[in-house]
Amino acid sequence: MLQHIYFHSEDRRLLGAYHQPDKALSERPLGIIMLHGWAGYRIGAHQMFTKLGRLAEQKGFHCLRFDFRGRGDSEGDAADTTLSTMIADTAAAVDWLAERTGLERIALVGDCSGAEVAIGASNLRSQIAALVLWSAPTVGADRSDVDRAKKLHTFKQYLHKLFRRETWGKLFAGRLRFGIIHRALLRGGKGAGEEGAAQDDLIDWVPRFLGFPGNILFIYGGNDPTADNCITYYRTLSAEAGREFNCHVVAGSNHAFYSVSWEEEVMGVTLDWLTGEARSAEAHPHAATQT
């Protein structure tokens, strides 16, 4: 059953979509909260969160997806949204789901900037027991190599479009949006706001990642220009944390998993892994509570 609910984060009212499973399936000791990317809202990129929520509900998971403040139907000014405010909103979402369901273990599923938020929030609530990070950017690191790779990829994409008949058709019809093209090339594929706010620089990203006691699954697209750098970084950081590095690469996929087969693979791998986490908690309930 899907319910639209409201909860508060600081002085903002946020809208959430809560997937409540049938009572017969609701015993799984693990809930799921989905964290959308910078420019998105609760449905996720090409509605992947909506689809994942339905599938998770069918498998017996309590699941919440919501709009960060300043996004979708939540209160707040979009210009005031930062990673720090998104992290605070996530903590409030955990409080709501834990109070509503009594769950002591909750997994965060974050997409792109939402993956950064998941890492930033991971130590703020004891209920946060696992993270699934889709296309996670590097946190607390020099991103110059990643930014160069992304900028080169963006340039190649537009160069390829230059030789397409449709592009010239749009040019002669006056339908090319030069402002968007200029911003994309200037920012190197970064969306507005992805550079981060000054307050986000104060977040102790690496200690939060190292100190998180739960398991983490990374998922990247094989054709994502940032994937190799990110995988190398998080493999090294996971070794430093003494944590197993769980990573799945979707062959041929772009950063946003923008095809039916790619998104099905991402959702399938995510739910299979979370089901394993839930079964582990079922088998060792006291250890799960102490974690």
Q: pLDDT tens digits, residue range 203-259?
A: 999 999 999 999 999 999 999 999 999 999 999 999 999 999 999 999 999 999 999
pLDDT over threshold 60, residue 152: no
Which residues share a beta bridge with 18? 3, 64
Which residues share a beta bridge with 281? none
Other C-beta atoms closer than 10 Å to the C-beta of 71 total: 22
Domain 2-143+204-290 of CATH type 3.40.50.1820: yes
Radius of gyration of the CA atoms of the chain, in A: 19
Q: Tokens 């210009």 correspond to what residue?
A: 79
Q: Tokens 């977040």 correspond to what residue?
A: 203
Work out the burial of residue 24: count CB atoms within 10 Å of its CB; fewer than 13 is exposed, 13-18 middle, 19 or more buried. exposed
Alpha helix stretches (DSSP H) within the chain: 48-58, 83-101, 113-121, 144-162, 165-172, 178-187, 205-211, 227-241, 260-283, 285-290
Write out pLDDT tens, residues 166-192.
Answer: 655 655 666 655 554 445 445 544 444
**Residue pair 96/127 in contact by the 8 Å Cβ criterion:** no
Q: How do beta strands 246-250 and 215-221 pair?
A: parallel
Residues 77, 112, 262: CA angle, nearest 5 degrees? 130
What is the pLDDT at residue 29? 85
Closest CA to 113 of 81, 161, 145: 81
- Cα gap 152→164, rounded to integer Å: 19
Which two tokens mark 198?
């000054």
Other C-beta atoms closer than 10 Å to the C-beta of 62 total: 24
Domain ranges of the chain: 2-143+204-290, 145-187
Q: What is the mean pLDDT of the chain?
A: 85
Q: How do beta strands 2-9 and 12-19 pair?
A: antiparallel
pTM of the entire structure?
0.83
Tell me which of 28 and 13 has the higher pLDDT. 13
Residues in the chain: 291
- Cα gap 211→243, rounded to integer Å: 10
Which residues share a beta bridge with 32? 63, 107
Write out pLDDT tens, residues 117-146.
Answer: 999 999 999 999 999 999 999 998 775 655
